[in-house]
Amino acid sequence: MRSFYMTDPGKVRSHNEDSVIIVRNMDDDYLLAVADGMGGHRAGEVASSIAISYLGKHFQDTFKKLEKEDAIEWIRDSVTEINRLIFKHVDENPESKGMGTTLVLAIVTKDYVLIGNIGDSSGFAMKDEHLHKVTYDHTLVNLLVTAGELTEEQAKDHPKRNVLMKALGANNPIEADIFDCDNQVSDILLCSDGLTNMLDIESMERVLLSDYEIEDKVIRLMKKAINRGGTDNISIAYLERFPRKKKEEGEKE
């Protein structure tokens, strides 16, 4: 497996409230995670950092040859603890009241792939050379679309499209959605909405199916999002599980 991640403040925001990590343990299991912080006085970056720092250390310390059911519980317990740590920070630092973070994470082993999310950071999986969105955005407009009160097109430009219904540090108790992916998925892409607000799934798929090296694919996604406006912080964590066959000369990408 090969992996790469990066984060960028984008063209509009003065600082970056996203945090991102990829960690591999001694058993060659992988954790990928992206958190998109929110809150004034730079509190958003504190919230996202709490989430990512905890996950990275906790994964290295405790994720050892877990069966799928145990890994699902590991995700649930981790989310509960991160939420507790964020609320604790707010109690001890009242000026950070209102801070919180989205979270999307993936656990990738040779036997299973799990993706979990809270908020509107997204998880995608590639299967049979098609990129599929796995996660469900916990936003007001997505709720209205599901209820049939908005169309997908109306949701794209809705003035409340960024209103979250669920975030770490905003809801207590809280539970992540957890998705058990087909073990044949070849790639995992996690990102903050700074990427998905700028690029559609077809644009991302074309880049990921190209013959570029993994680092160049992530950089190209980042540059495309920035060139199309870069209105928010952008974070990407990407993992290729299986080597992809190189295209023959003259074959279209």
Domains of the chain, residue spans:
2-240
Domain 2-240 has CATH 3.60.40.10: yes
Comparing 42 with 4, which gets the higher pLDDT?
A: 4
* Nearest CA among 240, 105, 110 for reference residue 177: 105
Q: Which tokens sit at 94?
A: 């009242």
124-162 residue pLDDT tens: 999 999 999 999 999 888 888 888 887 777 777 777 777
How far apart, in whole angstroms, are the C-alpha atoms of residue 201 and residue 90? 36
pLDDT > 50? residue 253: no
191-227 residue pLDDT tens: 999 999 999 999 999 999 999 999 999 999 999 999 9
86-121 residue pLDDT tens: 999 999 998 888 899 999 999 999 999 999 999 999
pLDDT > 70? residue 55: yes
Contacts of 186 (CB under 8 A, 6+ apart): 126, 127, 240, 241, 242, 244
- Answer for the pair 217, 207: CB distance below 8 angstroms, yes or no: yes
Kindly tell me the sign of the dihedral angle through the C-alpha atoms of 202, 137, 167, 116: negative
Contacts of 102 (CB under 8 A, 6+ apart): 35, 36, 38, 117, 118, 119, 120, 121, 164, 167, 168, 192, 193
Name the β-bridge partners of 33: 21, 105
